[in-house]
Structure 1
């Protein structure tokens, strides 16, 4: 299985968090929201708050998986002139701040940029690899080859509807972790999480995945603590972006406070 044959930057970050007694805290922020300097500042605050891994979201004009908060943030980023190439500046800043950056993007953007060119620019900036929500391993031959050549992680998604053969295929093709969607539907904040996520993590591990992280709907420290009890990483997006919608230094401070609470919960530390 490819997972075992090459060093995984994301895997190392997740394993380090688990060795400390909890799960990894993975925070998502989009490039260019509220603008490029603002998104870089937010990412640095997220790292300072305890994020082990930062998902760098590339804004896309027609997102199929993103909920309202992320859609609004990416709309503002695109209207502000954010481009794919801006991703690498944010990746470099996160790596310099001491966390592991991984890019989350719809694959058409990578295809248009050039798969090998994107991968080389990502590696040069210190990025770990890609999360590709709309790409399945069956259609990822070129990305698998390029990521193997450059030692980049590739994270594919599974859902509660995924059959055992799909889970095995994703587990085999992924390096770093497998992204388990906690519930069916788009991303966003939720009052409660679907307990079927626990079963999905168990099924994905049984299919051969070394690490499984859970996202979609993780909103509160209680959610994070619950997910950390059975998954290797806790992924949060909308709950971090919403405070930034308030704008200015207060929005940045509020985001950091939110992130600190989530990080403590994911890491299994007292709040």
Structure 2
């Protein structure tokens, strides 16, 4: 398929790593969840992350399960806001891999797409995920984000029909986020059976990196997901450990187990 917009920093980085045969790992952290939370970013990169998703907490996270909701509530209770989180990121500086912000469209609209995307870039953020933004309403933000140098990655689910999947794959930048199941984020006992079919369908219409998320919790699940997708997104399993008191060293060790599992593929 022909790309509507040229690849940005996230996509160039992920393509380069994927094309060496490397399975991609993108862990998630809720911005502002703990004091000194940006230390997790360095730990993630040291553990072998290829990109890092940073959640900008929102009071009504409709696609997030209990763990991410609790992390968002904890961050908001600490006074976290988009501005404070981006200020933290700017102060932290370059961690060596792209940062991809994720949040809901209300926060984008609060300041307006242009101001929002410009603020992301000033903070050193290279990508954006807006899970409640459907592709048929994404035209304005796609263009604004691209002009600001931000890759807007779109989501596809097992229920996405082929024509819509083609449009998502064409408009998405950075990667296509494959949602492994119909539901919310959260740890699960096994990788959803729908994951393999979805990633196969996406790969039939685009050569963009495909990252599989929702429910990937263990090294075994990461290894299985790596057989189908170009990489994995791991959120709830990370944030449960953070909420339980795990520090950067603990998360570095956990993500290293996922990295080793992916490297075995």
Shorter-chain TM-score range: over 0.9
Stretches of structure 1 lacking an aligned partner (at least 5 in a row): none
Mapped to 2, the partners of 1:233 and 1:93 lie a distance apart of: 29
Deviation at 1:136, TM superposition (A): 1.3
Q: 1:40 to 1:132 in 2, by over 3 A?
A: same
Q: TM-score, normalised by structure 2?
A: 0.93
Instruction: Kindly report which structure 2 residues correspond to 1:179-218, keeping only aligned pairs within 5 A, or say none.
Output: 179-208=177-206, 210-218=208-216
Alignment partner, residue 10 of structure 1: 10
Give the alignment partner of residue 236 of structure 1, picking from 226, 234, 237: 234
Give the alignment partner of residue 256 of structure 1, picking from 252, 258, 262: 252
Instruction: Kindly report which structure 2 residues correspond to 1:83-102, keeping only aligned pairs within 5 A, or say none.
Output: 83-92=81-90, 96-102=94-100
Q: 1:158 to 1:93 in 2, by over 3 A?
A: farther
Deviation at 1:25, TM superposition (A): 0.5
Alignment partner, residue 137 of structure 1: 135
Stretches of structure 2 lacking an aligned partner (at least 5 in a row): none
Q: 1:264 to 1:90 in 2, by over 3 A?
A: farther
Mapped to 1, the partners of 2:50 and 2:41 lie a distance apart of: 12
Instruction: Kindly report which structure 2 residues correspond to 1:172-183, keeping only aligned pairs within 5 A, or say none.
Output: 172-183=170-181
State how many pairs are aligned. Answer: 265
Give every structure 1 segment of 4 or more consecutive aligned residues whose post-TM-superposition deviation is greater than 3 Å: 1-5, 89-95
Deviation at 1:164, TM superposition (A): 0.8
Q: Residues 146 and 152 of structure 2 are in contact (CA less than 8 Å); yes or no, is this contact kept in structure 1?
A: no
What is the aligned-residue RMSD (CA, Å)? 1.9
Alignment partner, residue 29 of structure 2: 29
171-180 or 205-214: bigger deviation: 205-214
Alignment partner, residue 55 of structure 2: 57
